């Protein structure tokens, strides 16, 4: 079931605000079309000049509401509604230093009588400061309308009717909402290749037939694939191998994840429902290091809506998804680009070359034809000196190596996990006999698929993949060529 979505409707509101601002600017601009109707200077004019150590509280009011930043200690600040663990301390410091040191580009008018034309009758924002130990008198700065020509704002204090022109950078802090002081960056510590190890990642998603579970391969198994891009298997899907180059973001994506926005802090049940988190679309659970569990729960999509100028049609674009992280009592908005789990499938993480034992790590290879007749080949020696025999007779080394390369060229073209039936006839099989003491042989079998021109691949008793049936047919043709002195065909 689709969830409610947060829709940002900017066009109509923006046009209305722009129209009002344009009218006000026309009223404020002198005949010379210059914002300077009073005195000006190339030097910055101080509107406020206070040290942050002296500020006790900073109360900001703007279109998003009103909130107060309180001094909690030396160089330590906080907003009552934002838990310290969720706060962005540098944002507090920036607001304090900005409020205490507002500098103007120029004085527009002294002793102004028509304050409404600068927007001070309905300020865009107000900034009130109180001071500890009565070191200064409380002061309120009013931010009026914007002077678009210079990306600046008209500003005054409650101490006089002098109107200043302040660059946007000098007062942008006053436009921030309360939630802008919630940290959005690196919500989970960044990945440390020396110390971090991901043991398991589980993806639960409504459109999946079953959860995807990726488990770290046992150390000994991983060594076998040390020269390839394999370190994880999908234990949820008959232990099929995952390709590290394809699953990297899925495995490590929670490390260092950042949000693009904040929807709510200490969210209520109603807010969770609004965000679609009462019935999540996707849940990602990572188990790392010594059983550290990190969970990301994703709800509804966040949209922006634009309008086609020619047709008037509204166009919705997904810009994010609501989500909550374990240990963080907040609802964030995450960019789609940072959420690979929403589109991950077993197929797009599949490692296609599923079994590639090194030839000189084997004592032998046995091939089975469609009648299950066995053809045993013995391998001796190493890369420097080797020989291959069949029924006690040497086999041409170059041809056997070409044949072996063909064996390894079998790759998974698709995942297939259904049980075999009596209609799936055996076509061919391969057994790899390892030299390592105690290591069990690997067995690969190929069965005909009744539904298409493919064959089903069974690895060590587990039904896992499909490949074109020509592979198994050509395997037997190449076996005959090897034994009769013919040419090995590598393509299929």
Q: What is the pLDDT of residues 171-205, one digit of tens each?
A: 999 999 999 999 999 999 999 999 999 999 999 99
How much is the pLDDT for 44?
A: 87
Q: What percent of the chain has pLDDT over 70?
A: 89
How much is the pLDDT for 355?
A: 87
Q: DSSP code of 99?
A: H
54 φ, ψ (degrees, to nearest 5): -90, -15
Q: At residue 278, does pLDDT exceed 80?
A: yes
pLDDT class of 324 with cuts at 50, 70, 90: very high
Structure tokens at 163: 């109107």
Q: Where are the alpha helices (DSSP H) in 287-348?
A: none
If one counts every other C-beta atom within 10 angstroms of the C-beta of residue 476, the result is: 17
Lay out the sheet containing 362-368: strands in order across.
393-394, 386-390, 374-381, 362-368, 426-434, 442-448, 454-459, 462-468, 414-415
**Of 32 and 359, which is predicted with more confidence?**
359
Structure tokens at 149: 């020509």
Q: At residue 206, does pLDDT exceed 50?
A: yes
Q: DSSP code of 418?
A: P
Report the candidate in 230, 225, 253, 234 with the shortest Cα–Cα distance to residue 243: 230
Torsion angle in degrees (nearest 10) through CA of 294, 299, 304, 305:
170
CA 321 vs. chain centroid, Å, equals 11
pLDDT class of 112 with cuts at 50, 70, 90: very high
Question: How much is the mean pLDDT over the chain?
Answer: 90
| 254 close to 188: Cβ distance less than 8 angstroms | yes
How much is the pLDDT for 311?
A: 86
Strand 292-307, strand 6-9: pairing: parallel
pLDDT class of 246 with cuts at 50, 70, 90: confident
**CA dist., res. 335 & res. 132, Å (int):** 41
Q: At residue 79, does pLDDT exceed 90?
A: yes
Strand 414-415, strand 426-434: pairing: unpaired
Angle of helix 469-484 relative to helix 397-408, nearest 10 degrees, comes to 170
Query: Which string of b and e fits 402-411 if b means at least 16 CB within 10 Å?
Result: bbbebbbbbb
Q: At residue 28, does pLDDT exceed 90?
A: no
DSSP 3-state of 281:
coil
If one counts every other C-beta atom within 10 angstroms of the C-beta of residue 67, the result is: 20
**CA dist., res. 440 & res. 461, Å (int):** 13
155 φ, ψ (degrees, to nearest 5): -135, 140
Structure tokens at 158: 């409650």
* Three-point CA angle 200, 205, 210, nearest 5°: 75
**Of 449 and 230, which is predicted with more confidence?**
449
Summarize the confidence of residues 355-377 as an average pLDDT: 96
**CA dist., res. 192 & res. 466, Å (int):** 37
| 144 close to 154: Cβ distance less than 8 angstroms | yes
**CA dist., res. 320 & res. 306, Å (int):** 16
pLDDT class of 12 with cuts at 50, 70, 90: very low
CA distances to 14, 126, 145, 265 from 119, rounded to whole Å, are 17, 12, 5, 32
Residue 39 half-sphere exposure, CB side, CA atoms within 13 Å?
8
Structure tokens at 112: 């102004």
If one counts every other C-beta atom within 10 angstroms of the C-beta of residue 263, the result is: 24
**Of 481 and 4, which is predicted with more confidence?**
481
How much is the pLDDT for 221?
A: 66
How much is the pLDDT for 309?
A: 84
């Amino acid at each position: 079931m689709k969830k409610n979505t947060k829709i940002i409707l900017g066009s109509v509101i923006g046009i209305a605000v722009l129209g009002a601002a344009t009218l006000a600017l026309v009223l404020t601009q002198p005949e010379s079309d210059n914002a300077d109707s009073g005195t000006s200077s190339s030097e910055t004019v101080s509107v406020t000049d206070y040290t942050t150590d002296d500020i006790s509280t900073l109360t900001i009011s703007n279109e998003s509401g009103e909130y107060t930043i309180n001094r909690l200690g030396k160089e330590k600040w906080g907003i009552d509604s934002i838990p310290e663990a969720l706060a962005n301390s540098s944002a507090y410091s920036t607001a304090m230093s900005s409020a205490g040191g507002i500098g103007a580009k120029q004085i527009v008018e002294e002793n102004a009588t028509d304050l409404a034309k600068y927007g001070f009758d309905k300020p865009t924002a107000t900034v009130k400061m109180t001071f500890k130990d009565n070191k200064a008198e409380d002061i309120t700065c009013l931010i009026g309308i914007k002077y678009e020509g210079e990306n600046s704002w008209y500003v005054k204090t409650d101490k006089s009717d002098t109107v200043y022109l302040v660059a946007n950078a000098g007062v942008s802090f006053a436009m921030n909402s309360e939630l802008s002081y919630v940290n959005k960056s690196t919500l989970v510590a960044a990945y440390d290749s020396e110390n971090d190890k991901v043991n398991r990642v589980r993806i639960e998603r409504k459109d999946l037939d079953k959860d995807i579970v990726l488990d770290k391969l046992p150390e000994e198994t991983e060594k076998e694939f040390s020269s390839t891009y394999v370190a994880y298997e999908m234990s949820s899907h008959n232990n099929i191998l995952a390709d590290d180059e394809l699953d990297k973001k899925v495995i490590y994506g929670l490390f260092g994840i950042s949000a693009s926005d904040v929807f709510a802090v200490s969210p209520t049940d109603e807010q969770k429902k609004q965000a679609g988190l009462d019935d999540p679309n996707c849940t990602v659970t990572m188990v790392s290091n010594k059983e550290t569990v990190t969970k990301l729960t994703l709800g509804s999509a966040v949209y922006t809506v634009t309008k086609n100028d020619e047709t008037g049609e509204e166009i919705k674009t997904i810009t994010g998804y609501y989500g909550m992280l374990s240990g963080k009592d907040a609802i964030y908005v995450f960019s789609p680009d940072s959420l690979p789990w929403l589109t991950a499938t077993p197929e797009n993480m599949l490692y296609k070359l599923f079994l590639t034992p090194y030839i000189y790590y084997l004592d032998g290879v046995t091939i089975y034809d469609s009648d299950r007749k066995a053809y045993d080949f013995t391998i001796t020696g190493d890369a420097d000196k080797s020989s291959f025999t069949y029924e006690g007779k040497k086999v041409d080394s170059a041809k056997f190596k070409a044949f072996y390369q063909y064996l390894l060229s079998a790759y998974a073209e698709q995942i297939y996990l259904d049980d075999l039936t009596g209609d799936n006839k055996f076509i061919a099989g391969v057994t790899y006999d390892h030299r390592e003491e105690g290591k069990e042989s690997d067995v690969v079998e190929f069965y005909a698929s009744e539904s298409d021109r493919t064959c089903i691949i069974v690895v060590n008793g587990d039904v896992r993949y499909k490949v074109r049936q020509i592979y198994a047919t050509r395997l037997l043709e190449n076996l005959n060529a090897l034994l009769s002195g013919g040419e090995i065909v590598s393509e299929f």
